[in-house]
């Protein structure tokens, strides 16, 4: 069965620090990759996605992610975080045309002002 | 465009009571899902549907039932509520571009 690992459970950063959240998946074939964000008390929202093409994808609010096929990874990055980035971040993977995605357990990001 | 609409937003149930969480989407997505999210935990898939008339169990289906009579609606039924079902429930629909989540139902069973 496909699995998704988010190694960092809780990350604490100061404003303006750089961010990298790890995501690794287990499936060796073609995959679609996503990052979702959940702000406190809210529902999950799509941050960015990768299907094919340029492995560096840019999403909303200055976030980007890089797909490295050889490492089965899709890490999320942001050069300079803000207090408003405090949220939980979920990585998700699915095979094209699959009925459902597999979500990681999430990483809680706390940004100190 | 409303997206995914869940009702109610909050509910308190007594042990043994039943209720239905409503979910409707207006994006004509074939795929729909119910997840529960416990404090500090990730998403656990309860049930999902790949189209009207087709449903399947997820990771934690016990104590729940679903139906999918139309593309738009995917209600979740709780029978004989138990304290272990206290959680936040999210309905979602999906197309190729990813999931769209509803705003959630916070359920407390006392």
- Are A1 and A25 in contact, with CB atoms under 8 Å apart? no
B42 lies within 8 A of chain A by CB: yes
Q: Residue A29: what pLDDT?
A: 84
- The candidate with the shortest Cα–Cα distance to A36, out of A111, A104, A83, A112, is A104
Q: Do A104 and B101 touch (CB under 8 A)?
A: no
pLDDT value of position A78: 98
What is the C-alpha separation between B92 and B86, in angstroms, rounded?
A: 19
| Cβ of residue B98 closer than 8 Å to a chain A Cβ | yes
Contacts of A41 (CB under 8 A, 6+ apart): none
Residue of chain B with shortest Cα separation from A39: B103
Q: Do A100 and B42 touch (CB under 8 A)?
A: no
The string over B69-95, giving b where at least 16 C-beta atoms fall within 10 Å of a residue's C-beta and e elsewhere, is: eebbebbbebeebeeebbbbbbbbbbe
For residue range A60-89, what is the model confidence (pLDDT) as tens digits? 999 999 999 999 999 999 999 999 999 999
How many domains are there within chain B? 1
Q: Please indicate whether residue B35 or residue B96 has the higher confidence score (pLDDT).
A: B35
Q: Which residue of A has its CA nearest to B51?
A: A99
- The pLDDT value given to residue A23: 97
pLDDT in the model for residue B96: 85
> What would the mean pLDDT of B15-43 be, rounded to a whole number?
94
Give the domain range for residue B28: 4-109
| CATH classification at residue B81 | 2.60.40.10
Q: Mind listing the domains of chain A with CATH numbers?
A: 4-112 (2.60.40.10)
Q: Which of A58-62, A66-70, B1-5, B84-88 bottoms out in mean pLDDT, i.e. has the lowest?
A: B1-5
């Amino acid at each position: 069965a496909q699995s998704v690992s988010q190694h960092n459970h809780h990350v604490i950063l100061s404003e303006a620090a750089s961010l990298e959240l790890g995501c690794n998946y287990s499936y060796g074939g073609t995959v679609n990759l996503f990052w979702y964000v959940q702000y406190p008390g809210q529902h999950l929202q799509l941050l960015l996605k990768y299907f094919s093409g340029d492995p560096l994808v840019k999403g909303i609010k200055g976030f980007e992610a890089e797909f490295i096929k050889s490492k089965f990874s899709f890490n999320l990055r942001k050069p300079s975080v803000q207090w408003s980035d405090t949220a939980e971040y979920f990585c998700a993977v699915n095979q094209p045309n699959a009925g459902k995605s597999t979500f990681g357990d999430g990483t809680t990001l706390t940004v100190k002002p | 465009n409303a997206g995914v609409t869940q009702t109610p937003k909050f509910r308190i149930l007594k042990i043994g009571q039943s209720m239905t969480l409503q979910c409707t989407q207006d994006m004509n997505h074939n795929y729909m899902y119910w997840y529960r999210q416990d404090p500090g935990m990730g998403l656990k898939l309860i049930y999902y549907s790949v189209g009207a008339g087709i449903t399947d169990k997820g990771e934690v289906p016990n104590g729940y039932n679903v139906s999918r009579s139309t593309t738009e609606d995917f209600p979740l039924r709780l029978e004989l509520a138990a304290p272990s079902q206290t959680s936040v429930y999210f309905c979602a629909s999906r197309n190729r571009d990813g999931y769209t989540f509803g705003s959630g139902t916070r359920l407390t069973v006392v």
